[in-house]
Structure 1
C-alpha cells in the first residue's frame, strides 16, 4: 500500500464556549485514493493525545458540513487533537461511496489514518485513542487488534456480535404500535425471507414468504420502493459472492468472526455509552457482551454508562424510533444531558 498525505493549511480558528480551536486540513491516501478530513488542535497548548472519530453507517459530509463539531470541541477542550475524515466518495474524498463497505475495510481505513498521524509526528501521536459510534463497535476492535498501541476506546451505541436488523425491526414495529402478535408474524416473515434470499432462493418464494411484511407501512418506509425480480437477483448474486458468515442458531449475519475473542484481547481502558431508547442496536446485549469479554480484562478498565431518554445518536428523544430520529435529523439537537460530562470525567480519571 502506498501511503502519502499532507497537512495543508489552517482552515478555521473557532472561538466558542469550549475555547479556541485551530482546525487544519487532514489528508491521507488509502487504497490509492486521497481521503480528506479535518484535524482539530487546541490553541496555546500541546495536545496530550490524538483521538480519531470513527463514524457509523451511511454517507458523510465532514468538511463542508463541519459535522461532529460539538463533540470535537469537547475533546479539544480536554487538550486532545481530534481527527475525522469523509468516507470514500463523500465530501471531497476520492473514490466511490460503498454503502456495503465491510467493517474490515473500514478498519483498514482507520489504520491508514493512524499511519499518517504517526508519519507526520502530529503532537499527541504517541497516545492515540478511538471514539466510535454504532457499526464502529465492530470496526474499533479490529483496529485495536491490528494496532495494540491504541491507548483508549470510547464506544457509543456499540454493536454486539451479530447483525442488528432483527432488533431494529422488532423494536420499531413496537414503537409504531403493532401488536405483539403482529410483530411476531412480521419478524418471522423477515427471518424466513432473509433465509431464502441468502441461500439463493427464488424471487417468487421470497415474495410468498414475506407477503404481510412487504405491505407493512414501516417496512415500506425502510425500503422506499418495491423490490423487482431483477433487483432481487442482482442483490442476491452480489451478496452470495461475498461469502458472509451466519449464526446457526439465529440466522443473523456475523460481521466479525470470533468477535468475542477479538474483544477479549482488548487491554486498553474502554468507556461504553448507550441510550436506553436506542431502537437501532440491542444495547442490553452489547452491555452483556462487553461485561463477559472486555470486563474480564483488568487492564481494559471497562466503564459503562446509559442514559434513560436518549436514542442511538445520544440525543434526547420521546421514542427513539427511526422515524422520529430521521424527522429530527435536519434540526440541531443538543446531546443528552451529562453525555459530554461523562466522557470528560472519564478522560480526566482514567486516561489523562
Structure 2
C-alpha cells in the first residue's frame, strides 16, 4: 500500500510545483507588462469647450518640477481615434516629457462617448477644433503659451498648416503626411495592389472603379448615386463615410504649407509607406519650406506608415506582444529619440535667444 501511495504523492508534489511555477511566471509576466506600460509623466483627464460641445482630452505633464511647460498638441490621422490612440501615443508623450514638454490630445467626436461624429468634419472643422484647444491651453498657468506646437499624423497633414494660419505655433512635427488627397488615394490603391501581387486584369478593374468614384465626387454625387453606380456594392463605404470623402477629397496642402514658412518643422517619413507617397510629400515640403531653413526631414527605412517597425506591424502576434511587453520598441529605431532631440533643440534655441535679448 505504501509503495502505491509514494508515486501518487510524488505526482501531486510535481503537479503542485508546476502550478506554483506557472503562477510565479504569470505574476512576473503581469509585472513586466505593468512596468513596461508605466510612463514617466502625469496624465490628467481634461475637458475643452468648443463650438457648443465638449472635447474629452488627456493632458500629459512632465514630472520635472517645472511650473510651466511647452506643449505638443496632437492631431489624429484618419479613423475613430481616442485621446491616447489606444495607448499608442504614450511612448511619444513620455519622450516629450523628457524634453520638458507636455502633450495634449482628445477623443475624436463620437469616439469613447464624446459628442458628435468625426465623419461630419471637414479639414477646416478639424483645424478650428485644434485652434480652440490651443486657446484653452494658453489660458492655463502650467503651459507656456509661447512654446506650443503641433504633432500630426497622416490625414493631419491637411490640418496642421490650416491651424498655423489661424494661430501662432512654435513648431510642427508632421508624421507621414500627404500633400494631395486624390494623388494619395491613387498611390495607396496601386501600392496595395502591388503588395497583393494583383493581376493586370484586377489592376485595370480597380483603377476603372477608382476613376468612376472620382467622377462621382467631381459632380458631388449623393451616396445613393454612388451605390447605384457601384451596382449595389458599397465596398465598405457607409453614407457617413461617403459624406466625409465628398467633403474633403479636394484637400491639397501645397498652398496651406506656406503658413509654416519660418516655423521649425520636423517631417518624418517611413520607408515602407503604402498609404502615402513619401517622395511626393518630401518634394512638396521642400519646395515650400526648405528655403527658410526651418525644415528637418527624417526618414526611417524600417518603418511602415504609422512609423511602427514594418516587421512588427505585419504580424498581429508581434504587434500585440510588443505593445504589451515593450511598447517603446514598437516604433522605428530612432523615431522617439529624434522627436525628443527636436524638442530639446527648440528649448536650447529659446534659451539662447532669451540670454541674447
**TM-score over 0.5 for the alignment?**
yes
Query: 2:250 pairs with 254, 269, 275, which one?
Result: 254
Determine if the alignment matches structure 1 residue 295 to structure 2 residue 290.
yes
- The alignment yields a C-alpha RMSD, in angstroms, of 3.3
Residue 91 and residue 330 in structure 1: after superposition, are their counterparts in 2 closer, same or farther (change >3 A)?
Answer: farther
Determine if the alignment matches structure 1 residue 157 to structure 2 residue 150.
no
- Runs of 4+ aligned structure 1 residues displaced above 6 Å come to 14-19, 325-329
Partner of 2:203: 183
Bigger relative CO (Cα 8 Å, ≥ 6 apart): 2
Partner of 2:112: 91
Residue 145 and residue 106 in structure 1: after superposition, are their counterparts in 2 closer, same or farther (change >3 A)?
Answer: same
In the TM superposition, 1:169-318 aligns within 5 A as 169-180=189-200, 182-196=202-216, 198-199=218-219, 200=221, 206-207=229-230, 223-224=235-236, 253-256=249-252, 259-266=253-260, 267-298=262-293, 301-318=294-311
Q: Secondary structure at the match of 1:287?
A: helix
In the TM superposition, 1:119-138 aligns within 5 A as 119-138=139-158
Distance in 2 (alpha carbons) for counterparts of 1:273 and 1:158: 9
Distance in 1 (alpha carbons) for counterparts of 2:277 and 2:44: 37
C-alpha distance after superposition, 1:118-167 (max 9, x if no partner) = 122333222101111011111110000111x2000000001113332211
- Is residue 18–residue 73 contact of structure 1 (8 Å, CA) maintained in 2? no
> 1:38, CA displacement in angstroms?
1.1
> 1:20, CA displacement in angstroms?
3.5
Distance in 2 (alpha carbons) for counterparts of 1:71 and 1:309: 18
Larger Rg: 2
Partner of 1:217: none
Residue 71 and residue 347 in structure 1: after superposition, are their counterparts in 2 closer, same or farther (change >3 A)?
Answer: same
- Is residue 44–residue 59 contact of structure 2 (8 Å, CA) maintained in 1? yes
Q: Secondary structure at the match of 1:110?
A: helix
Distance in 1 (alpha carbons) for counterparts of 2:331 and 2:244: 37
Residue 27 and residue 205 in structure 1: after superposition, are their counterparts in 2 closer, same or farther (change >3 A)?
Answer: closer
- Is residue 69–residue 142 contact of structure 2 (8 Å, CA) maintained in 1? no
In the TM superposition, 1:334-345 aligns within 5 A as 334-345=330-341
TM score, norm. by length of structure 1: 0.75
> 1:325, CA displacement in angstroms?
7.8
Unaligned runs of 5+ in 2: 1-33, 349-357
TM score, norm. by length of structure 2: 0.74
Determine if the alignment matches structure 1 residue 21 to structure 2 residue 51.
no
Indicate the structure with greater helix content.
2
> 1:328, CA displacement in angstroms?
7.0
Distance in 1 (alpha carbons) for counterparts of 2:144 and 2:42: 15
Distance in 2 (alpha carbons) for counterparts of 1:172 and 1:72: 31
C-alpha distance after superposition, 1:172-210 (max 9, x if no partner) = 0110111456424421332134314542495697347xx
- Is residue 64–residue 91 contact of structure 1 (8 Å, CA) maintained in 2? no
Determine if the alignment matches structure 1 residue 139 to structure 2 residue 159.
yes
Distance in 2 (alpha carbons) for counterparts of 1:71 and 1:280: 22
Determine if the alignment matches structure 1 residue 82 to structure 2 residue 75.
no
> 1:341, CA displacement in angstroms?
1.4
Distance in 2 (alpha carbons) for counterparts of 1:284 and 1:318: 22
Q: Secondary structure at the match of 2:275?
A: coil
Count of aligned residue pairs for this structure pair: 303
> 1:264, CA displacement in angstroms?
2.0
> 1:58, CA displacement in angstroms?
1.1
Determine if the alignment matches structure 1 residue 106 to structure 2 residue 122.
no
Unaligned runs of 5+ in 1: 1-13, 215-219, 245-252
